[in-house]
Each structure stands twice: as structure tokens, then as C-alpha cells.
Amino acid sequence: MLRSGSDTELVTAWRALSGIATGDGWKVIELFSIGNCCVMAGRRGARNEESVLVGIRGNVPSQPFQLPRGQGFSLISTELQGYPAGHSWFALVRQESGSLELFTKVAVDLVNLMESTSVQDGLRIHSAMISRIRAWQAFMKRDSDGVLSTEEEIGLFGELLVLQNLLDDGVSEFDALDSWAGPDDGLHDFLLGDGAIEVKTTLAPAGFIAIISNLDQLDDSLHQPLFVAAVRLAQLSEGSTLPDLIDQVAGRIHDPGASALLNSRLVSAGYMDITRAEYTRRFRSSELTYRIVCADSPRLTRSSVPAAIHEARYSLDLDAFPIAASTYAEISTSLGVKNQWN
């Protein structure tokens, strides 16, 4: 089996298969078959496309329009004759325009994901596969060198601290990761029960000026109740780097499905572990409070601005919002999730 970050076995298999497939058929080399998942390195027909084939035990329906496509690769539903019966087969195929180096990274990551989730049921394996590929596509759309900007680094650090708070206060691993919507361009960073939590992070030692990115971000008519998690960081030599914090969170995740979700969320957020050495700043949390958005809270929403104004980005003093709690446990009941998850 492949190990994270290692592409030797996969590249060797592709090299061995090069040029021997004909027509539209597949030539494959098995990488592993465990639990409910079978994974092959493959090439398809005369086009000789590098591919990874994933067989998921059982009937896993998937419409073509639901499968990710673009950014140099596509996921297709296919058939593989002569291999374990009772599997639904999918193939991640490199497109001619796609970078082989980057496709190899995606493929290795997918193989390792399938290995880690192979004990799950077929639908969950399929969901993890789709989520991870879409996360990679989102990552490749980013105009960056693979390293988060300072603002993005601080923002992700804050969201991870809130995620830790959810885990500390009894939210199950999978539910906590499933609620984390920020990396997938969710309107709010966490969707919990009937409400939501928006995370804002600052390095300022006093005051709390936050950037509100649109007219919907503080509109509690969309999700109610709506809390703002205000995270204050201090930059200290004895603090943790972003990769350190990610390792801490990952170390407490034992559910394979939750672990797969964590990795997908991090890729969507633009974090790649191969760039961990680039993150040298060390932070420590000096404040985490949950502030409630009320009817009289100062903010701009679509209902409060002239109809001619379609978008707005503005700075807001969060000290104008009352502090409701300092832990997730204190607000979980109002969100309607305490009895569900604890």
C-alpha cells in the first residue's frame, strides 16, 4: 500500500502499464483490496491516460453530472471486467492538459484516503472520495504558490481553535468536522443545529475590529441563532505553528470518516502538509468568546441597505456585540444540538 507523500509505487505501476492498453479498455495493477474498497493503478486504452480506479463494494449510484470534472482531471463511472464482482467502479483520470506532477499528488492522496476509509460503508466511502476530489479542485483554482497568506493562516488557526472547542465540549468527531463549512466557502464557518457560528480572529492586543465580507455574513434571518466566535491570538515563541495545531487536532480524531473530512477541509482551505515548513509563526490563544448577533446589533444586511446596494465589505467593532459565552457548551442548547450530540 502507498503511504502518505509517497508516489513511488503508483508511478512505477503507471510506467509498467504504459502503452499496453488498447481500444477503450483498462489495463490495471492492484494497489490494495481491503474492507469495502479495491484500488487499482490504471491506464485507459489508446489514450494511455494515467488513472486511479476505485471499486466500492455494493451498488453506489452516481449520476455523471454529480461527478467532479475539471482542473486537469475528471472522475468517471466505469466498469472493470474480470475483477471483484459486486463493486461499483470509478476512475480518476488525468486529462491531457493536466499536470502529471500535480495529478500524481492528487492520486496518491486519494489512494491513501480510500485506504483509511475502507472499513466504512460504501456510501460513506463514495462521499469521502467526491468531497476530497472537489477539495483538490478548489485548491487548484487558488491563485497561490500553495502557501496560505498571513490573513488566511490566522483565519484557519482561529477556526481550528473553535473546532477544538467543539470537540472539548462533547461534539462527536464526525459531527464536528461535518459542521465545519468555512473551508468550502460556506456562508458561515460552522453550521450547527438551527444556527451558525462565524469565526473572526485578530492579533490585536486590544479592541476587536473584524472584516465582514458581505451583506449576508451577519444576517441572522438566514441562520438563527447566529454567534460570532471572537478569537484573539498572541504571537509568542512558545506558541504553536499552524501545522502544530493541525497535528493536535488530527491526533484526537480516531473516526476514519472524520479524519477524511478533516483532510478534505484542510485542502479546501488551501493548506497542504508538504508546505508545513513555510509556517513558522507561533500563536497562542488569549481569548475565545461567543458573541450573539441580535436584532439591534450594528451590521449591514440586505434588508437594512438600499436595494441598489448589492455587495459590501466593511470593518466592524465586535466589542459592540454582547458576549454570550466563553465555551461552546454554554451555547449548544440555544443552537438546538446539545441533546442531539451529547
160 and 130 fall within a common domain: no
N- to C-terminal Cα separation, the chain:
37
135 and 231 fall within a common domain: no
**Helix 100-116 vs helix 256-269: angle between axes, to the nearest 10 degrees?**
160
Domain that includes residue 135, residue range? 8-141
Cα 89 to chain center, whole Å?
24
Residue 3 lies in a domain: no
pLDDT at 4 over 50: no
- In 10 A of CB 241, how many CB atoms? 18
C-alpha cell, 168: 472539548
Residue 293 class from Cβ within 10 Å (0-12 exposed, 13-18 middle, 19+ buried)?
Answer: buried
Q: CA-CA distance, 130 to 117, in Å (whole number)?
A: 13
Nearest to 283 by CA among 147, 140, 159: 159
257 and 320 fall within a common domain: yes
Identify the pLDDT of residue 262. Answer: 93
Q: What is the DSSP secondary-structure string of 153-201?
A: HHHHHHHHHHHHHHHHTT--HHHHHHHB-GGGT-SSSEEETTEEEEEEE
116 and 189 fall within a common domain: no
Of 141, 159, 179, the residue at which a domain comes to its end is 141
Residue 198 class from Cβ within 10 Å (0-12 exposed, 13-18 middle, 19+ buried)?
Answer: buried
Q: CA-CA distance, 201 to 158, in Å (whole number)?
A: 6
C-alpha cell, 191: 453550521
Report helix, strand or coil for 100: helix
Residue 90 lies in a domain: yes
pLDDT at 144 over 70: no
Q: CA-CA distance, 202 to 323, in Å (whole number)?
A: 16
The residue whose grid cell reads 476514519 is 256
The widest CA-to-CA distance across the chain, in whole angstroms, is: 69
pLDDT at 3 over 50: no
| pLDDT (mean) for 181-191 | 92
Res. 6 pLDDT band, cuts 50 70 90: low
Of 55-69, 181-195, 233-247, the one with minimum mean pLDDT is 55-69
Residue 272 lies in a domain: yes
Q: ∠ CA 201-205-207 to the nearest 5 degrees?
A: 75
Nearest to 51 by CA among 23, 26, 86, 79: 26
Cα 174 to chain center, whole Å?
13
C-alpha cell, 85: 464482482
Q: Number of helices and strands (H, E) in the chain?
A: 9, 13
Q: Which residues pair with 37 in a beta bridge?
A: 34, 56
Q: CA-CA distance, 13 to 17, in Å (whole number)?
A: 6
136 and 168 fall within a common domain: no
34 and 120 fall within a common domain: yes
187 and 310 fall within a common domain: yes
**Phi, psi (deg, nearest 5) at residue 75:** -110, 125
pLDDT at 125 over 70: yes
Report helix, strand or coil for 146: coil
Question: For residue range 283-303, what is the model confidence (pLDDT) as tens digits?
Answer: 999 999 999 999 999 999 999
How many Å is the Cα radius of gyration of the chain? 22
Query: CB of 211 within 8 A of CB of 223?
Result: no
Identify the pLDDT of residue 148. Answer: 93
223 and 280 fall within a common domain: yes
| Structural domains of the chain, count | 2
157 and 291 fall within a common domain: yes
C-alpha cell, 2: 502507498
Identify the pLDDT of residue 309. Answer: 96
Of 113, 141, 169, the residue at which a domain comes to its end is 141
Residue 2 lies in a domain: no
Residue 332 lies in a domain: yes
Query: CB of 254 within 8 A of CB of 311?
Result: no
Question: For residue range 224-233, what is the model confidence (pLDDT) as tens digits?
Answer: 999 999 999 9
| pLDDT (mean) for 86-109 | 90
Residue 44 lies in a domain: yes
116 and 261 fall within a common domain: no
129 and 199 fall within a common domain: no
67 and 211 fall within a common domain: no
Of 141, 172, 205, the residue at which a domain comes to its end is 141
Q: The pTM is what?
A: 0.78
